[in-house]
Structure 1
Amino acid sequence: MAIRLIVQNPDPVLREVAKEVTKFNSNLHKLLTNMAETMYDAEGVGLAAPQIGISKRVIVVDVGDDNGLIEMVNPEILEREGEQFGPEGCLSIQNVNGDVRRANKIRVRGQNRDGETFELEAEGFLARAFQHEVDHLNGILFIDLAEELYDGSARDRRENGE
């Protein structure tokens, strides 16, 4: 389909609360496909629609595990358990990484590209990626949560959160 330009901080769209998706149609399917292609092209592990300038509650995540690509529309984290602390980066904030405290295990509910509701449990890195992307939908960036920020230019983004 198409690789989209990734919006960079401090673009105001990154600070908006994204709008709920109510129409599940070919436009949404195209958006999800473009988001996945954009994420893979940028060597990321997650992407939220606001990161390509679209204020909609849509995310894609692929941390390279057996789950493969996960598309989720209108995601909502229902439960958080435990704690993990580690590095994150972001495709919208180049060359910066930070150590962020997140839940180690989550249960999330959302809809697929056809509007069917589903839930999934995520742990570890996958849980971190989901929390990072859902934060994007609420106008929150990892730099808002990081306990320490550092130069991420030499680090592999795939190992560090996005």
Structure 2
Amino acid sequence: MAREIVLWPHKVLTTATQPVTDFGPALEKLMSEMLAAVQEAKGIGIAANQLGEPLRMALVGREDGTFFEIINPRILERSEQITLEEGCLSVPDEWEKTPRYKKVKVRYQDKAQQWHEVEAEGRLAHVLQHEIDHLDGHVFVELLSGLKRSLIQERMKKYQKFLKRKKD
């Protein structure tokens, strides 16, 4: 069984992550745990802080179902605002229309510490923005109206109480 995904509004999800400086075996282990968690949850991306690790690293899903790591990423450019239907593994069963950008340019490192730049649009641009938001300490619900955000927060509190009772 994969590691448990942290649920919003946990503090680790609302705090900016720390840059990755140790590219050793612990990083490789964390990437394996992240891959297992995102695959078990049938997600298309996951950030390290969604497993409780405050590190600036995420796995991003490609259209073909494979994943690649982005370590210490930064969005360099954004263009063409759009609204997309969005959900999150840390906010289960909640889907809302969310403002994003159609195209992004991102600079990041891989697990071998090599720097890359990717220009993405469509689904890949969407996932990159979502995961980098996580690394900056933001969850997609923050981009919604105050009313929608508070309704989702109430549902999440009830869901977390349900999970706690289920465990006890």
* Distance of 1:80 and 1:8 partners within structure 2: 28
Q: Percent identity?
A: 38
Gaps of 5+ in 1: 152-162
1:84, CA displacement in angstroms?
1.9
The TM-score, its normalising length taken from structure 2, stands at 0.83
Q: Which has the higher contact order (CA 8 A, sep 6+)?
A: 1
Q: 1:94 maps to what in 2?
A: 92
1:68, CA displacement in angstroms?
2.9
Aligned 1:145-156 pairs, distance under 5 A = 145-147=143-145, 149=148
The TM-score, its normalising length taken from structure 1, stands at 0.86
* Distance of 1:3 and 1:76 partners within structure 2: 28
1:127, CA displacement in angstroms?
0.5
* Distance of 2:123 and 2:51 partners within structure 1: 23
Gaps of 5+ in 2: 153-168
Matched, 1:124 2:104: no
1:67, CA displacement in angstroms?
7.9
Matched, 1:70 2:68: yes
Structure 2 CA distance for partners of 1:109 and 1:67, relative to 1, 3 Å: farther
* Distance of 1:139 and 1:57 partners within structure 2: 10
Q: 2:166 maps to what in 1?
A: none
Aligned length: 149
Contact 1:25 1:114 in 2 (8 A): no
Q: 2:4 maps to what in 1?
A: 5
Q: 2:162 maps to what in 1?
A: none
User: Which structure: larger Rg?
Assistant: 2
Specify which of 65, 77, 94 is matched with residue 79 of structure 1: 77
* Distance of 1:116 and 1:101 partners within structure 2: 31
Q: Secondary structure at the match of 2:21?
A: coil
